[in-house]
């Protein structure tokens, strides 16, 4: 499907199409190992209260999945630094009694800056989704100043561990064969023109503000779920692809809520909870590129478990908020995508 297609909304077969397997197991292994290291250590030392900080740091491992090792290390270092800054900023906001009023405008500014940075260096997956997730997710954690400092250290250690895991394949191949065989493409994609970067950043900044404000106005918690859903959709290019991604996001989330409800009904705790997070995080990488709807069946339970980490809430309330906020984010994304395309066509006709 190209962006010149006349229809706006995807067909069911577009949602169900599964792309061929392309070394996805290696990405899944890296992400699983990057997540397992810090989480198992925290469990072993009895500091499971810092798990959420470490998980956000481990998201570093999702970047540059099919890049050669040096290019991957560069991208992961940049994206990981942005993640760490996001966690640190969110942790500082969490100390304020007015954090819920502060985090939405800050997240909008952060989305604008993260979009510019991500588009400039062409990190993959595109967009500042994980950075906003880290900032707003950590901002919602109730913590003391001491826990905040320890959480930032845990996130930094997690980022560092993810960089080691991401680069380890180069060392293994060199030890095994005496040289590096590179099955990946050799250069990242060329960045888009500068004016495209600014337009995309403005779109994501405004969208984040709108998507985050709506749950706040209607009194729903976890406003970052709406912001992240919106960013996930608008981080890809082209009207049709954005609407497709928003639809993937909503359909996969609604189905995934049933899976998440079943898992959380068992009230997993301790090492069982840790293992579930690790397995889900790795398994997501098997499908996130091949079919985003299937990936959401795994992402949704993971996000619900992370929502539990930020404070015990009734299961029904968590599920309701996740579903409603995903719908809000998807609707905002579709509206912005359609408006941006109309503006582009109007400009082209005027020209």
Question: Are the C-beta atoms of residues 253 and 326 closer than 8 Å to each other?
Answer: yes
pLDDT at 71 over 60: yes
Q: Cα separations (Å) of 123 from 2, 189, 202, 226, 290?
A: 23, 9, 18, 22, 18
> Does pLDDT of 185 surpass 50?
no
pLDDT of 311 over the 80 cut: no
Domain extent listing, the chain? 22-185+192-350
- Place 68 in a pLDDT band, splitting at 50, 70 and 90: confident
Mean pLDDT computed over 13-26:
81
pLDDT-derived band at 189 (thresholds 50, 70, 90) equals: very low
Residue 60: what pLDDT? 97
Cα 63 to Cα 134: distance, rounded to the nearest angstrom: 15
User: Is pLDDT at 182 greater than 60 in this prediction?
Assistant: no
Percent with pLDDT over 70 in the chain: 87
Q: What are the tokens at 280?
A: 């889900």
Tokens of 350: 């005027």
Q: Is the pLDDT of residue 196 over 90?
A: no
316 pLDDT band, cuts 50/70/90, is confident
- Pick the range with the lowest mean pLDDT from 77-86, 185-194, 212-221, 250-259: 185-194
pLDDT at residue 188 tops 60 = no
Instruction: Determine the average pLDDT of the residues in 240-262.
Output: 93
Q: What is the pLDDT of residue 194?
A: 54
Interatomic CA distance for residues 278 and 30, integer angstroms: 11
Helix (H) or strand (E) holding 20: none
Which pTM value belongs to this model?
0.88
Distance CA 346, CA 7 (A): 18
User: What's the rounded Cα separation, in Å, for the pair 165 and 185?
Assistant: 20
Is the pLDDT at 179 greater than 70? The verdict is no
Most confident of 29-33, 219-223, 235-239: 29-33
- Residue 295 or 191, more confident: 295
Mean pLDDT of the chain: 87
Mean pLDDT on 324-334: 96
Q: What integer pLDDT is reported at residue 191 of this predicted model?
A: 46
> What is the Cα gyration radius of the chain?
20
Tell me the average pLDDT across 273-296: 93
């Amino acid at each position: 499907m190209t962006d010149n297609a006349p229809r706006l909304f995807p067909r069911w077969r577009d949602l169900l199409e599964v792309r061929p397997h392309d070394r996805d197991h290696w990405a899944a292994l890296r992400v699983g190992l990057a997540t397992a290291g810090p989480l198992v250590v925290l469990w072993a030392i009895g500091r499971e209260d810092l798990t959420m900080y470490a998980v956000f740091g481990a998201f570093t491992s999702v970047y540059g999945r099919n890049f050669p090792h040096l290019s991957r290390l560069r991208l992961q270092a940049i994206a990981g630094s942005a993640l760490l800054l996001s966690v640190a900023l969110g942790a500082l906001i969490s100390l304020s009694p007015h954090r819920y009023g502060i985090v939405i405008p800050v997240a909008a500014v952060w989305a604008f800056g993260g979009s510019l940075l991500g588009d400039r260096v062409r990190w993959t997956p595109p967009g500042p989704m994980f950075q906003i997730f880290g900032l707003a997710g950590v901002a919602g954690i109730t913590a003391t100043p001491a826990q905040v400092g320890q959480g930032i250290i845990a996130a930094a250690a997690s980022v560092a561990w993810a960089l080691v895991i991401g680069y380890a394949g180069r060392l293994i191949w060199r030890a095994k064969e005496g040289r590096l065989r590179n099955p990946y493409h050799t250069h990242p994609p060329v960045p888009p023109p500068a004016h495209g970067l600014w337009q995309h950043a403005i779109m994501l900044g405004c969208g984040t503000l709108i998507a985050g404000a709506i749950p706040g106005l209607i009194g729903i918690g976890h406003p970052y779920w709406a912001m992240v859903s919106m960013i996930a959709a608008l981080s890809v290019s082209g009207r049709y692809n954005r609407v497709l991604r928003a639809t993937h996001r909503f359909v996969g989330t609604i189905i995934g809520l049933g899976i998440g409800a079943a898992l959380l009904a068992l009230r997993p705790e301790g090492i069982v909870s840790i293992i579930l997070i690790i397995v889900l995080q790795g398994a997501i990488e098997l499908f996130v590129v091949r079919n985003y709807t299937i990936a959401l069946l795994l992402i949704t339970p993971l996000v619900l478990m992370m929502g539990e980490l930020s404070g015990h809430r009734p299961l029904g309330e968590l599920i309701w908020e996740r579903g409603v906020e995903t719908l809000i984010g998807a609707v905002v994304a579709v509206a912005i995508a359609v408006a941006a395309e109309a503006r582009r066509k109007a400009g082209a006709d005027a020209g």
